[in-house]
Chains A and B, each alone.
Chain A
């Protein structure tokens, strides 16, 4: 089993300032909501879009005397995610309190894991095109509580607070500063999302805020990043700013680009970049300082006295490892080696686990490239047009496989196959039976084709003279014959017979 196709690393993005060239250095903290039914420390539901404050237990509302009890499923998902990122799993981890006051967090602290996270170092291979990828090191993953939601536009003087999300389990996935450009940052989130969805540990729904990213951006002169990698000394890198809470790939790229240029302008002007938390404003296309965060930055972490350390057993971890699915990198490598697909096609087919499974069913016992071609170009194209997911496809893998079989046997031409696909897509039915019932079978019987060619030649003596003078006009006869046979004649046979009959 191949873990990943071979690749080389891309060059870092260079931005030219007024005076010199600069490179970007980016690290990310991705918050992924665990796909659990209930919260991390309470039995309240995690269902999105419920009545405000209806998914709230007294633990979440921080009523006096309430104690947190951990959801074992959430622990399992964090371990599963760690294994999926080839990370070390810490059998001993512990929870700490991160203290701050905000209306959407009634406890006055977030339960998180600062000192002993459940998952340690791992990696994500970020694909940047065939044969090109960036290996991004993962520093840690820890479990923590989400905060509630404040709504500021329902009243001119008041903010409205909904605690439904308060206490929902998050996995914070922290990368090393190994991402070297805005496109890579978006590709990193895309890849992480894909892996999480394969693992089933997070649904990756960015619109609902189930996957959000904080981005740390700094700039450096070419060559400085390599010095940092050699020595591990952050002193070689510039001062970073953190852009908080982004849930769109497009905004992530725009924010990084803006922030890098802002920092370059500062440094080239002889000023200093101040380490701070910033917010991206998509309407204005700029980042601005969140000054209120600075004051609160003193989180006074300490171990949560309500929770004993989380100790798990190696056997349990091994049990989870045994149920891991084939992950995107392995699947892609296998599609390339086993079915002879291009890396590009394999990439498209493995983007979602469901698409990959569909393709495999079509390709089973058939020509892999042909199956890929039909799944990607015809089926995906058609589904996309109607904004349907692969799981909503009206054409099953067996039906599409049936169409591919008919082409392979020479029963139908590629062109008729497209018509057939359309019929199966809109009306359903068994492809072989449709071809039989509607007389769509390709005519390979040379006698029948010869008769049709003779007829066209007899009816068009003038054209025959022209074609004899200019052989390129033979195509006109082929077209006429195809028309006369309703497109069912084997085009290759028609070509040969027309040429022979015209004496070309």
Chain B
């Protein structure tokens, strides 16, 4: 798989990262280098090997159903660029 500048532009847009047109070819080539490495890994035969999901033999940690958090509207909103009447205020997004 090869990444061209158009794909690089699209990936940047989906990630909401601003990339100048002039920088797209370099970005695309970096993507290609990474994918090349992954392709190399693909050469390893892993037939019948279970995927490793953790380096420590741990079970997914669970918690009981109880209200132990929240009730801090002021803290939650304190980093917001704009907040009004208890809401985050953002530029209008209407479907």
Instruction: Give Cα A57–Cα B53 distance, bound, in whole angstroms.
Output: 27
Picked from B62, B73, B89, the residue with its CB within 8 Å of the CB of A56 is: B73
Minimal Cβ-Cβ distance residue in A for B10: A298
* Contact yes or no, B82 A43, CB < 8 A: no
Q: How far is the CB of B35 from chain A (nearest CB, A)?
A: 14
* Contact yes or no, A72 B64, CB < 8 A: yes
Minimal Cβ-Cβ distance residue in B for A50: B70
The SS class assigned to the B binding surface is loop
Does A51 sit at the interface, judged by CB under 8 A? yes
Q: B90: which A residues are within 8 A, CB to CB?
A: 103, 158-161
* Contact yes or no, A53 B77, CB < 8 A: yes
Instruction: Give Cα A103–Cα B14 distance, bound, in whole angstroms.
Output: 15
Does A162 sit at the interface, judged by CB under 8 A? yes
Q: How far is the CB of B20 from chain A (nearest CB, A)?
A: 20
Total A-B contacts with CB atoms under 8 angstroms apart: 137
Q: How far is the CB of B92 from chain A (nearest CB, A)?
A: 5
Does B66 sit at the interface, judged by CB under 8 A? yes
* Contact yes or no, A308 B53, CB < 8 A: yes
Given contacts A43-B68, A150-B93, contact A53 B63 (CB under 8 A): no
Instruction: Give Cα A352–Cα B90 distance, bound, in whole angstroms.
Output: 43
Given contacts A51-B86, A53-B86, contact A72 B76 (CB under 8 A): no
* Contact yes or no, B82 A158, CB < 8 A: yes
Q: B1: which A residues are within 8 A, CB to CB?
A: none
Does A290 sit at the interface, judged by CB under 8 A? yes
A10-18, A34-42, A428-436 - the one binding chain B:
A34-42
Does A143 sit at the interface, judged by CB under 8 A? no
Instruction: Give Cα A311–Cα B62 distance, bound, in whole angstroms.
Output: 11
* Contact yes or no, A53 B65, CB < 8 A: no
Instruction: Give Cα A53–Cα B71 distance, bound, in whole angstroms.
Output: 8
Picked from B53, B60, B70, the residue with its CB within 8 Å of the CB of A44 is: B70
Minimal Cβ-Cβ distance residue in A for B59: A311
* Contact yes or no, A43 B92, CB < 8 A: no
Digit string of A73-116 for contact with B (CB within 8 Å is 1, else 0)?
A: 11100000000000000000010000101110000000000000
* Contact yes or no, B61 A70, CB < 8 A: yes
Q: A157: which B residues are within 8 A, CB to CB?
A: 91-92
Minimal Cβ-Cβ distance residue in A for B54: A308
* Contact yes or no, A70 B60, CB < 8 A: yes
* Contact yes or no, A37 B65, CB < 8 A: yes
Q: How many B residues face the partner with a CB closer than 8 A?
A: 36
Instruction: Give Cα A290–Cα B77 distance, bound, in whole angstroms.
Output: 30
Q: How far is the CB of B15 from chain A (nearest CB, A)?
A: 8
Digit string of B22-57 for contact with A (CB within 8 Å is 1, else 0)?
A: 000000000000000000000000000000011000
Instruction: Give Cα A163–Cα B87 distance, bound, in whole angstroms.
Output: 8
Q: A56: which B residues are within 8 A, CB to CB?
A: 70, 72-73, 76
* Contact yes or no, B76 A163, CB < 8 A: yes
Q: How far is the CB of A106 from chain B (nearest CB, A)?
A: 9
Minimal Cβ-Cβ distance residue in A for B71: A54
Q: A69: which B residues are within 8 A, CB to CB?
A: 61-63
Within B9-24, which residues are at the interface with A (CB < 8 Å)? Answer: 10, 14, 16
Does A52 sit at the interface, judged by CB under 8 A? yes
* Contact yes or no, A43 B70, CB < 8 A: yes
Instruction: Give Cα A162–Cα B87 distance, bound, in whole angstroms.
Output: 6
Does A414 sit at the interface, judged by CB under 8 A? no
* Contact yes or no, B94 A159, CB < 8 A: yes
* Contact yes or no, A70 B59, CB < 8 A: no
Q: B92: which A residues are within 8 A, CB to CB?
A: 152, 155-159
Does A45 sit at the interface, judged by CB under 8 A? yes
Given contacts A53-B86, A309-B53, contact A103 B93 (CB under 8 A): yes
Instruction: Give Cα A307–Cα B49 distance, bound, in whole angstroms.
Output: 21
Picked from B62, B73, B88, B89, the residue with its CB within 8 Å of the CB of A51 is: B73
Within A477-498, which residues are at the interface with B (CB < 8 Å)? Answer: none
Picked from A55, A57, A160, the residue with its CB within 8 Å of the CB of B87 is: A160
Instruction: Give Cα A51–Cα B82 distance, bound, in whole angstroms.
Output: 18
Q: A51: which B residues are within 8 A, CB to CB?
A: 73, 86
Does A300 sit at the interface, judged by CB under 8 A? yes
Minimal Cβ-Cβ distance residue in B for A293: B95
* Contact yes or no, B70 A45, CB < 8 A: yes
Q: A54: which B residues are within 8 A, CB to CB?
A: 70-73, 86
Instruction: Give Cα A151–Cα B89 distance, bound, in whole angstroms.
Output: 10
Given contacts A43-B63, A75-B62, A307-B60, contact A160 B94 (CB under 8 A): no
Q: B59: which A residues are within 8 A, CB to CB?
A: 308, 311
Picked from B53, B61, B65, B94, the residue with its CB within 8 Å of the CB of A152 is: B94
Q: B94: which A residues are within 8 A, CB to CB?
A: 152, 159
Given contacts A308-B53, A311-B60, contact A102 B93 (CB under 8 A): yes
A interface residues, Cβ below 8 angstroms from B = 36-38, 42-45, 51-59, 61, 69-75, 94, 99, 101-103, 150-152, 154-163, 279, 290, 292, 296, 298, 300, 303, 307-311
- 5 nearest A-B pairs in the assembled complex, by CB-CB distance: A43-B68, A73-B65, A44-B70, A160-B87, A43-B69
B interface residues, Cβ below 8 angstroms from A = 10, 14, 16, 53-54, 58-73, 76-77, 82, 84-95
Can you name 27 A-B pairs with beta carbons within 8 Å?
A37-B65, A42-B69, A43-B66, A44-B67, A45-B70, A53-B76, A53-B86, A53-B87, A54-B72, A69-B63, A71-B65, A72-B65, A73-B65, A103-B88, A155-B89, A156-B92, A159-B89, A161-B90, A162-B87, A290-B95, A292-B95, A298-B10, A300-B14, A303-B53, A308-B54, A309-B53, A311-B59
